[in-house]
Amino acid sequence: MKKKALVLAPSVGFGELIRQLLEDTAAYTPTLFANPAQALEAARARAYDVTILDAEFESQALPQLVAALRETNPQMHVVVAPVEDRPDDPILDELHADAILESPFYLPNLIEVLEGLFGPLEQRDVRTLRSSAGGRPPRRQQARTAQPAPEWLADVSQAAQYLTRLSLESASQAALITRGDKVWAYAGQLPQKAADELGRAVAEHWEDEADLARFVHLDATGSDYMMYATSLGGDYILAMAFDAEMPFSQMRAQAGQMAEALAVAPQVEMRAARVDEEPQIIRMEAGDDAPPAGQGAGRSEAAARPSGTPGTPSAKIQGGRSVRYVGTEETLGESSYDLHYAYAMIPRLPSHKLDGDLSEKLARWLPQLCLSFGWRLEHLNVQPDFIQWMVSMGPEASPDTVVHTLEQHLSECIFEEFPRLRKENPSGKFWAPGFLIVSGGQPDAELMAQYIQQTRRRQGVPRNG
């Protein structure tokens, strides 16, 4: 028989998170309340087996509240989630609770506590909320009229680029903005199919009255995540996916910070790449002082053009030096290619540098692959610590297809050509998990540095690694 659980929390988002978890165990029938008086009334009408109490209520009233709840059923267990910045609050001792959850709060601890009180769960996999299309149809979204959306969010290119920048400062695996039932902008490490799943989960479960927090299982990755969503005004919603065991308070704080940042138009210039500029010549940098990503080399056409066939990147590049491939030798019509995306990847192992023969091979392989798959290469910059490129493609193409395809084929080429690198990295994947995609323009040096630092941090690589 299922245990009856009373969840009492002033934060609807936090309470709903606990309610969903208990329901997904298939061992509990949870009821959520945000009002103590209503919770007491329900407890008097129904004998609950356990009360899970969020201590965010007025602390001085908590002992009386717990005592009143126990009077309704002396056998009822009480589990308390302390306020995060007051884990040692003396008032907790006065509650005589059966268990005090760890601070900061994370859901696996709650399951362990409940198993200690009631025994092991028969269905232990409690993180199986499916967000696939097989679920019930998305409910129609109704805009929050009290908070209009920032006007600048209507520029999808600007929204995507600014979201990318902000996501690098968070611990999320993915961040997306939805508009109605559609994904408006996306940034993060997860594939596009996973982003679409997250968008469907937001559309299905979003309520206008409060933030949304719940576990989601993404079929695209086969993994579980914690999703936190909050309104940006109008019919725009910010949703972030975190590792499933990340403390709730950190997720809520990071989502709130990102929402505040998105409420104001970015102050940095985000120039879209033009397609009607003068034709540019292929240039290769052979100096040790290669310019930062997105800047020209400043060399004359005669000095920049390598020997051999004009306009062909065939010059020999010495070890430790960078290769740079810029533009095309003809103008680009918007009728054929009207979408521009810049990408960046870094080696999985920090000790693997993109220099010497490897940089020369990459400068040859990547243009060939783009040509083979029908993407027009506009820019290629190979630096020892990263590779960055920009392509133009038709609107029917998916931007994440480019990076996944090149990631796979370049890894195969690298390990076949350089067996030593394959021996040092037996994963079969040369590139680090996660990549950078910027719509409409080149990432600046600051964004590149943030991307590299965030990726290494997620890998667990020390700063000096």
Supply the mean pLDDT for the chain: 76
Contacts 24+ apart (CB under 8 A), 235-238: 235/141, 235/143, 235/149, 235/179, 235/180, 236/149, 236/153, 236/177, 236/178, 236/179, 236/184, 237/141, 237/177, 237/178, 237/179, 237/202, 237/206, 238/175, 238/176, 238/177, 238/262
Concatenating the DSSP letter of every residue in 163-202 gives HHHHHTTS--SEEEEEETTEEEEEEESS-HHHHHHHHHHH
Adjacent-strand bridge partners of 79: 52, 99
Asked if residue 420 and residue 334 are part of one domain, the reply reads yes
Please state, for a pLDDT cut of 90, what percent of the chain lies above it: 31
Whether 111 maps to a domain, the answer reads yes
Q: Do the domain assignments include residue 123?
A: no
Let me know whether 15 and 106 are in one domain.
Answer: yes
Which pLDDT value is given to residue 209? 56
Higher pLDDT, 273 or 92: 92
Task: With respect to residue 284, please indicate whether it lies within any of the assigned structural domains.
Answer: no
- What CATH number does the domain containing 348 carry? 3.30.70.1290
What tokens were used for 142?
């109704």
Please report where in the chains the tokens 């997306």 appear, as a residue: 176
Whether a cis peptide bond, with omega within 30° of 0, leads into 104 is yes
List pLDDT tens digits, range 199-256.
999 998 887 656 788 778 889 888 888 899 999 999 999 999 998 767 777 888 899 9
Instruction: Report yes or no on 272 lying in a domain.
Output: no
Please give the pLDDT value at position 432.
93
Mean pLDDT for the stretch of residues 21-50: 92
Can you give the pTM of this predicted structure? 0.46
SS3 assignment, position 218 = strand
pLDDT computed for residue 407 by the predictor: 92
3 state DSSP class of 213: strand
**Structural domain includes residue 197:** yes
Q: What is the pLDDT of residue 122?
A: 64
Of 262, 288, 315, which marks where a domain is finished? 262
CA-CA distance, 391 to 191, in Å (whole number)?
18
Instruction: Write the pLDDT tens digit of every residue in 164-204.
Output: 778 877 888 889 999 988 899 888 778 888 889 999 999 98
Pair 252, 344 in one domain = no
Looking at the predicted structure, is the pLDDT value of residue 3 above 80?
yes
373 and 329 co-located in one domain = yes
Q: Same domain for 102 and 183? A: no
Instruction: Report which DSSP code applies to 17.
Output: H
For residue 333, the model assigns a pLDDT of 38
CB crowding 17-27: b at 16 or more within 10 Å, else e: bbbbbbbbbeb
Answer yes or no: do 307 and 452 share one domain: yes
For residues 307 and 454, state if they share a domain.
yes
Q: What's residue 430's pLDDT?
A: 95
Residue 137 falls inside a structural domain: no
* Number of domains, the chain: 3
Q: Report the distance separating Cα 178 and Cα 173, nearest Å.
A: 16
**154-168, 196-210, 313-327: which has the minimum mean pLDDT?**
313-327
Band of pLDDT at residue 127, cut at 50, 70 and 90: very low
HSE, side-chain direction, 13 A CA sphere, residue 289:
2
Predicted pLDDT of residue 338: 59
Query: Do 446 and 343 reside in the same domain of the chain?
Result: yes
pLDDT (mean) for 97-125: 80
- Domain match, 321 and 435 both: yes
- pLDDT tens-digit profile of 360-416? 899 889 988 988 888 888 888 899 999 999 888 766 667 778 888 899 999 999 999
Same domain for 229 and 320? Answer: no
Does some domain include residue 421? Answer: yes
DSSP-derived letter for residue 206 is: -
Does residue 306 share a domain with residue 455? yes
Does residue 287 lie in a domain region? Answer: no
Average of per-residue pLDDT across 404-432: 93
Residue 36 domain boundaries: 3-118
pLDDT in tens, 256-307: 999 999 998 875 333 333 333 332 222 222 233 333 333 333 322 222 222 2
Give the angle subtended at the CA of 388 by the CAs of 383 and 389, to the nearest 5°: 135
Q: Do residue 439 and residue 335 come from a single domain?
A: yes
Best CA proximity match to 262, nearest among 163, 171, 341, 192: 163
In this structure, of 52-61, 83-92, 297-306, 341-350, the range with the lowest mean pLDDT score is 297-306
Q: Which residue has tokens 């991307």?
A: 451
